[in-house]
Chains A and B, each alone.
Chain A
Amino acid sequence: METTLNEPQKRLLAAIFEIGAEHAARALSGWLGRPVRLVVSSVRQVDLEAACEVLGAADTLVAACPMELRGPLAGQIILVFDDRAGLALVDFLLRQPEGTTTTWGELEQSAARETANIVGCAYLNSLAAHLPTSSAEKTLEPGPPSFRHEFAASLLQFALMDQATQSDQLLLIDTRFLAEEVELEWTLLLVPSGDSLRSLISASSP
């Protein structure tokens, strides 16, 4: 069975995921009480070799809140930020000057997880309404977010492993947000499982 998206399929999915990303941006804006702008929303299918550079340099340490997806769209949804942006988020949520928080303690991790939960659920609720029928027969519900401090390339490897068992081309849905007035930039990655990749391709075929 085909595991590579053609251009029309990519455009269709990109349009659907962009609607989800706009919902997520609005939810993030409500959570922060600040305007949040959607910077990039893209559907990318990349080679194994390129996959681990999607978040920048392979050995960059990132903070990440992965949530496992089950059901018709299985896989991982992961909110990722570099340390500076993640710790600035915590300062902002705790109403303290930027630069006050310097380490990821339990309170800081909890703030990151809650942010991921809000953004991820808004995104998935929108996707459930717009994805092609066979991929959205049920509500899309993520598991509880966890918190990880990880090398960018290792994080992507963990997330992409299931797809790698079925395809040499790996699909990532990459969404980037920028909060205005504060230096906060995040990436929301959606990585379908191998089976879900096949379902998405099948459902987006004319």
Chain B
Amino acid sequence: MPDVPSANTTQPTPIFVPMGRWAVAAAPAVIRTLLGSCAGVVLYEPQLKVGGLAHIVLPDSRGSVDHPGKYADTAIPALIEDLERLAGRRLRPRLTAKLLGCANMFQSSGNLEIGRLNRIAVERILAESNVPLTRSDIGGDAGRNLTFCTSTGIVAVKVPGGASYDV
């Protein structure tokens, strides 16, 4: 059995991740967030059933250390470090990633550019960290309501007025 911390409840209380933060948990746990133009990065290790979610706002911290969860270049390494601390061992190369969000409701060029730069930054940092990106669900002009189950690694996505689907 994996030697990782685990909640004892059969129906775990969802952990909500606000803008610019991240969370990690071992199964059974549920991690939730709401995305618009931000990027949601979900990391998962299927044998130990540990996973985490980062709610990233911008691509580059430019050296700022005040809000590591806000930026792709600081949030992803912090998320990996927390996951490995939770598991008590190195998780790569079994760790895989999913990228969600990066939508754009407003057509102003600034918003479009941030979504694109977030995607590029996340892909680059994951590659540098030896974490393969296995699935993406990005773009469009609507928000996404994510529910990540650490028992299965599945991310359930709801969009406003639309059907739910799994990523």
Contacts and interface: CB of A to CB of B under 8 A. Distances in A.
Interface residues on A, range: 20 to 34
Secondary structure call for the B interface? loop
B64 to A, nearest CB: 9
B28 interface: no
Interface in A3-17: none
A150 B143 CA distance: 7
A158 B36 contact: yes
A88 B77 CA distance: 48
Contacts of B144: 154
Interface in B90-146: 103-106, 108, 110-111, 114, 142-145
A151 B70 contact: no
Interface residues on B, range: 20 to 34
Nearest to A70: B108
A121 interface: no
Interface of B: 16, 18-21, 34-38, 57-58, 66-67, 70, 103-106, 108, 110-111, 114, 142-145, 160-161
Interface of A: 48-53, 58-59, 61, 66, 68, 76, 148-151, 153-159, 161-162, 164-165, 168, 193
Given A157-B36, A193-B110, 12 more contacts: A48-B70, A52-B18, A52-B34, A58-B34, A68-B108, A148-B105, A150-B160, A155-B105, A158-B37, A158-B143, A162-B108, A162-B111
